[in-house]
Amino acid sequence: MRLVCFSIAGSDPSGGAGIQADLKTFSAFGVYGCAAIAGLTAQNTQGVRRAHPVAPDLVVDQVTAVLDDLHVATTKIGMLSDAETVAAVADLVAARRSEFGILVLDPVMVATSGDRLLTEDAAAIVRDRLLPLADLVTPNLPEAAALLGRAPAVDQDGAVDQARALVAAGARAVLVKGGHLEGDTLTDVFARLGEVVELSAPRIATRNTHGTGCTLSSAIAASAAVLGDTPAAGIGLESIERGRAYLQAALRAAADWEFSRHPGVGHGPVDHLVTPPAPTHRGARPGARRA
């Protein structure tokens, strides 16, 4: 039986982020992708022109239609637009938690371009109601800070501190993405109760970073399905590492792409059609440091 991965997120008509990125990523991992659209945007590689939430009851009806029919192995939740939609999704997840499988929450608040995609009043609901239901939360540094009500971390020690704070706030596991910090090395922080692991890789010099957060969270969700992670055991470090390796390959393959009519401006997409790297290790590896 084909593994099923489910995305609940916003739509990106330019194809680099959101639902479109998630479905392409699922296909790259060889799993069957399905999706419920929680928000509509008018955006491209230059930025977000407009964002419009989908009615919460329609979001719930989409999700329910999938759960009533398909056996879902993993679910990725991305952009939910506003407080009403976040609350409606949280109610449904709480009521039918086991049917969502491994749950990866990407608390999309700000696009790569800097455009805000989640209203401020919704952040508290994400923190208080969705975060404790997730097996993994994948904020970038500004999103981690918003969830904690703090200023963004400015160095690696601050990122580690905020990852630990999110676990203390109720997250089962957290991957704080370090892409906003400067340097030739990009380090993400994976934290869960009693464990912190710093995962490093060379930073790839490219403007084509549109949708990297969406792509990473969906790659981790797909990898968790393929590797057989379960909510009872929690998401495995190998699923995190394989998702990161896929994103690195997708960034590298698209580093010199030029899709836009405006060369040198904006942020182009990654190459979602790369082959995910095969699992080659278990546990800590070179590039992983336990803090």
Active site residues: 177, 209, 211-214
Q: Which two tokens stand for residue 83?
A: 């407080």
Task: Kindly list the distances between the CA atom of residue 26 and the CA atoms of 17, 23, 38, 69, 178, in Å, as whole numbers in the listed order.
Answer: 13, 5, 18, 19, 24
Element (H or E) spanning 196, and its range?
Answer: strand 195-202
Pair 190, 240: CB distance under 8 Å: yes
Q: Are strands 74-77 and 288-290 parallel, antiparallel or unpaired?
A: unpaired
Both tokens assigned to 265? 């401006």
Between strands 136-137 and 47-53, the pairing is unpaired
Closest CA to 76 of 18, 120, 132: 18
Written as one letter, the residue type at 42 is A
The two three-digit tokens of residue 263, written as one number: 């060369």
Q: What is the DSSP letter of 36?
A: E
CB 135 within 8 A of CB 235: yes
Q: How many residues does the chain have?
A: 291
The DSSP-derived string for 249-262 is: HHHHHTTT---SSS
Question: Widest CA span of the chain, in angstroms?
Answer: 49
